Chains A and B, each alone.
Chain A
Amino acid sequence: MASESTIRQPFDFAAEQLSTEQRGLWEQAFRRLIRNRLAFAAGLLLGVLVILSLGAEFLPAIQRHDPIIQDYGITNQGPSMTHWLGTDILGRDMWARLLQGTLFSLKIGLGTQVIILLIGISVGMSAALAGHKSDSILMWLTDLAYAFPDLLAIIMMRQMLFGRDWPIIGKGDPQIPGLPSALLATILAISFVSWVTVARLVRGQMLSIKEQDYVLAARSIGASPWRVVRVHMLPNTLSTVIVAVTFGIPLAIFAEAALSFIGLGVPPPDASLGSLISDGYDNLYSNNLLVVWPAIMVAVLMLSFTFLGDGLRDALDPRTRK
């Protein structure tokens, strides 16, 4: 990226040695990110939420009450000193449930994005760079994945994963620590149909970047194709990809919520933000706080990821320095 910048924007970067360029780029990016107050605040808030929800798993002091302990004497209470966010229809503490739900939803959001990025970037990149035939075939594959009946897939996967012993992924449930089978099925099923958008975004950006002057220039001075991709093309597709990913996290959380709504969400007594909202929706008229808390949490997560994502993309783009 620096070589491109030196050609086109000589004042942005001093001529640095190639070996230190990358670190320089990331360092600069990090510094710029910190300077963007909103993005920094969003990042900080996210950090706090992650620590809180992770901590709640292990430290009773954070979650204060057991999220699955029921007390029928105190159902549907409003916020109080003992129950900060009130209690639900079974008299469970909403603060503890909310933290548990946040952790589950973060797992879903991040888990899907990891898979989506892995598949999406490799397919999108190969499609853009590997010539017409493979482009057609890969785009054909994305069409196939998009048309893939995800509902059938998720019912199928739940069936295969729940309580079954599998030779590779282990016995019992959860087969992977921290990922109960229904959660794993949800993550896989959501990723299977969502990587397509990222793949097509990457392909579109790459096709357009491929013909940009600086890439042509880099190629003409004899840079290896892999280097051109790694140094010039990939970073320049990052901005759109980051936006797609930061949006993808809440989108995945919603997708899971919609699955809970149809009856294919995480199994109780565990909770995700989606299942909390979907259960709370049933009690919208009698205790609307049950929807309000998880909805606020989703909104906060979404805003934080948005601002952090925008900050990140601004920081990574050398041309946006203010």
Chain B
Amino acid sequence: MTKPIWRMLLGILAVFGVMAIAVACGDDDDDDTGAATNTAAPGASPTADAKPSGTITIRTIQFETWDPHFSDFNQDIEHFFMVWRGLYNLDAANLPQPAMADGKPTVSADGKTYTVKVQAGLKWSDGQPLDANDFVLGVQRTCNPDNAGHYQYILTAIVGCDAYYAAGKETPAKKDELLKAVGVRAVDATTIEFKLTDPQPTFPILLALWPTFPAPKHLLKTVDAAWPGPLQNVYNGPFKPSEYTEKDHMTMVPNPNYTQKEKAKIEKLVLRYIDDAAVALNAYRAGEIDATLVPSTQLDAVKKDAVLSKELVSYAAVRTTGLEPNLKDPLMAKLEVRLALSQATDRKTLNDVVLKGANIPSTTWMPPARSGTNPTAFDAAIGFDVAKAKENMKKAGYENGAGFPKLVLLQTDTATNKAIGEFLQAEWKKHLGITIELEYTDSKTRSSRFNSGQFQLVLGGWGEDYPDPENWILGLYETGGSINKQSCSMKAIDDLIAKAKYNTNDEQRRQQYRDVEKLVVENICGQGPMWQVGFHAVVKPHIKGMIENKKPDDKQIPGDLYVELWTTSKK
């Protein structure tokens, strides 16, 4: 009895010993892992148009819903673009290029009617025909009140879409009537006609996005029928799911009926669902996955690693973070206080020290990729300047922080946010002599407070929905805007937005949005930008087509909007 026990104890001791030693030697032998995983020979370049070959495994996050006419989650959108495509697809310059459509749309003289030809002979992945009616059904589903799509608002320009969506409590007969009034119809099997309330210059872009993806009329009896799950549904994109376990993984194989020029070049695409990015990075180190995001907390470790540093790709995403004051709050209503807080914030040190240099310090709201503006354009107005900050505090009546009332910065509780909060608290105490309170809640509590206007100051921002400047302004900064939760209200902004919204002169329109941005930022009208978010990922060298096709609006992996272009030299 005792002998085996001792043997077992010795064994366990040995395990602990090995662990202790290996951990103690920590940084010294990082090369081991690299040497073990970096066995694939890079040189062999894949031949174009060959039979699909090889498997690529990427890390992503479990999608919420499989329904493109309902969802607006980042990871869901990534999945949608792998298996479905719209009439158009955005190219590297974000110009809509025909995908399922046959050529560019024809626009009526008043700019309110778009006619799109659909390619003849298209098929769903199950071989059933795909025609104009499927696209019409897709748009109708997005406007459908019972489906309750999150993203209906981007189709607000389509005649009758808003009215139909608002009819949640109407009788079925009334709903039917409103459905018929929605301004989208199939003229014939290859022609779709869209009727708009106003000329919308960005409409072709919307025809490349998931809310206008087709819906299979042969699977859906009615417009509000339930959307089939991944293995029951049919597809018109480069891939289709062949195997799926929720929260674990999804395997995709090429869709044989995908008729576009660029077809899938790999045999198998495995999406491994991993919530924790640090775990995913370890799996990447061990060679279990081929590409993943790098969390900013590990950025410095990756940069120091001999192998990983070569596989790291970093670029600016179209996401901006800033200080968002609630202008309905008596303290935050004072422009000088808002300016002082922004001017007492050393964005560069914050980024270097707290965020490990992951992001691009900025004072602009729209990312350079959208506006063409230099990220430091508004430094003079709201950038780090202690003298100006003190001056503003004095003007507001709180010289050296005297008599400054209670100010709570509300944030979601994450390690990074804690460090940011601690940084701001210490900096503002140092420069302005004020002590702010930090409140950390879970994400839903924060969002709920923000959405109901019960906050003074939050750290927030915006991630782009579609590649156009209007997406950074509309609804956010006009008086009464549907998602203007900071209650920004300036007549000059309202006037400019009214002019820009239906302006068909593209250059003029873009300039008008740039002018709005200037007004918002210089008045910190609900937004004091701090940084443009950086996108960091590691990709194994045997993969081509990811980094080459990267875009600022990539979802989880570089190039994940062009999955048909990925190749691997690993068999």
Contact = CB atoms under 8 A, between A and B. Distances in A.
Direct contact of A and B (CB under 8 A): yes
A135 interface: no
A72 B426 CA distance: 11
Given A89-B419, A268-B421, A75 B353 contact: yes
A286 interface: yes
Most chain-B Cβ atoms within 10 A of its Cβ — which of A70, A155, A279, A285?
A285
Interface in A72-129: 72, 75, 89-91
Contacts of A318: none
Interface string A63-75: 0000011101001
A282 B440 contact: no
A39 B345 CA distance: 52
The prevalent SS among residues of A at the interface is loop
B24 to A, nearest CB: 10
A269 interface: yes
Contact of A263 (B412, B419, B426): B412
B438 A267 contact: yes
Given A263-B414, A283-B297, A72 B419 contact: no
A292 to B, nearest CB: 9
B442 interface: yes
Interface stretch (A158-166, A213-221, A304-312): A158-166
A100 to B, nearest CB: 13
A105 B419 CA distance: 20
B121 interface: no
Contacts of A268: 418, 421-422, 438, 440
B440 A90 contact: no
B219 interface: no
A246 B412 CA distance: 34
Contacts of B438: 267-269
Nearest to A182: B440
Contacts of B437: 163
A278 interface: yes
A162 B439 contact: yes
A209 interface: no
A145 interface: no
Interface string B353-389: 1101000000000000000000000000000000000
Interface in A42-78: 68-70, 72, 75
A208 interface: no
B445 interface: yes
A84 B352 CA distance: 25
B405 to A, nearest CB: 14
A163 B439 CA distance: 9
B422 A90 contact: yes
- Interface range for A: 20 to 34
A238 interface: no
Nearest to B350: A72
B442 A70 contact: no
A157 to B, nearest CB: 12
A279 B425 contact: no
B40 interface: no
28 contacts: A68-B422, A68-B426, A70-B422, A70-B426, A90-B419, A90-B426, A155-B441, A155-B442, A155-B445, A158-B441, A159-B445, A163-B408, A263-B413, A263-B443, A267-B413, A267-B438, A267-B439, A267-B440, A268-B438, A268-B440, A278-B415, A281-B415, A282-B278, A282-B297, A283-B297, A286-B300, A286-B356, A288-B26
Chain A to chain B: the 9 pairs with minimum beta-carbon distance, closest first: A285-B301, A263-B413, A282-B297, A268-B418, A282-B415, A72-B353, A286-B300, A279-B415, A70-B426
Interface of B: 26, 278, 297-298, 300-301, 304, 349, 352-354, 356, 408, 412-416, 418-419, 421-423, 425-426, 437-443, 445
Given A268-B438, A285-B300, 19 more contacts: A69-B426, A70-B422, A89-B419, A90-B354, A90-B426, A91-B353, A159-B441, A162-B439, A263-B412, A263-B414, A263-B440, A263-B443, A264-B442, A267-B439, A269-B422, A278-B415, A282-B297, A286-B300, A286-B301
